[in-house]
Structure 1
């Protein structure tokens, strides 16, 4: 029995079976049905048939298969199972009007899945930027930053950046803090200074390197050695420098030893 099972799986993977044979195998066992539904070379008639399979996970595999035709995806999009709809939203063959409809679906994970689909309209894309759910807004920002990194979309305008910095959602601000390196130097400093007011320890560790000295120095007693170390290596305040030169953490002391003031005062000891 085990040999037959393994032979059936190999037959499916090799796609040597006829559509009729594949459908027969799909009826024998739900695991085989799911395997057939996800294969990139499964014949289209088989996918169309499996789109009506009683097993929801088989239908989800069909919804995510790049060979599934648009009409079948449109039919699957009419179902209520949100994980099927997520697969439909991520399929590049899904018609643009279906993607735009799914971008307003009540379940936030379906709306997030639409962000990766290239057929999502410009208007719907920017609706998701102001979505009421924080996870959708955060996913939108992460996607937008990826586009900026790939240089396929322009850098944010000052107004857009200001709007991002004013976000009420901590996860949104954390994603922005991790991506300041994508911004021009002047925007990096302005954004870092604004985010330092957030007083979130994760955000501070990401933005301290980009902040102006006036905004950095007040955090010299931060619990994070990384934050104190950045300040120790860069501060021009001699009193603060000497305090950090004798910090309990060796990482901070080493950073202070790299400060230009250490060269100016060779008698100082790390």
Structure 2
């Protein structure tokens, strides 16, 4: 069984609830057209990596949470997945991608205009959920993440030739900062100690660096190759991620966080073998 499957199994009940809410979220709208778009997009689920990080981080600190904490956590995960989905929809429009997760993209089916508006609606819905959480700084943390993601994407689009440090800054902004926020918010939901919140935030940041480097190495990304970014760089970030959560209490959830690092790195070797 892969490390990712083990991690998903550790949080499977919560992820199932998140998935069911997303599948039915279009019913919240008075517009049948908007409901149809939402229903179509969430018909085929993603990997739910970011919600998994939220839940694993919370449970690594507090395996048995209160009913209220659990509700807050599920709602946070729904908001996180909506934000991730919005970024995917907008990416598909920018890149003119016609398929995602084995089905046609929104821009392919409904056109660019509807796809842009759908992505914006995903963001709006996410923020209405975040504003209703008892955690008072969730929306601020996520707003900063979205800002970083957009600035990093602008930077990447505007500059074809970038230095190694620029490359690392861009992938931190577009990928790693979001994963850091997921882990940090998970820890905050169960009122983790400051050092636990910081440790998990740093874990998420380093995991995000691993994830994007491996993704770029797999796709033979021009800037990764040009700046001599390799799997060895990813392994360095993976070691940092393991180190920052060393002091957390031993648990299946902590093991799953470490397992995710191995899973991401191993995915490169598997893709290379199958290439």
- The structure with the largest alpha-carbon Rg is 1
Relative to its length, the structure with more helix (as a share) is: 2
Give me the TM-score of the superposition, normalised by structure 1: 0.25
Instruction: Point out which structure has higher relative CO (alpha carbons under 8 A, 6+ apart).
Output: 2
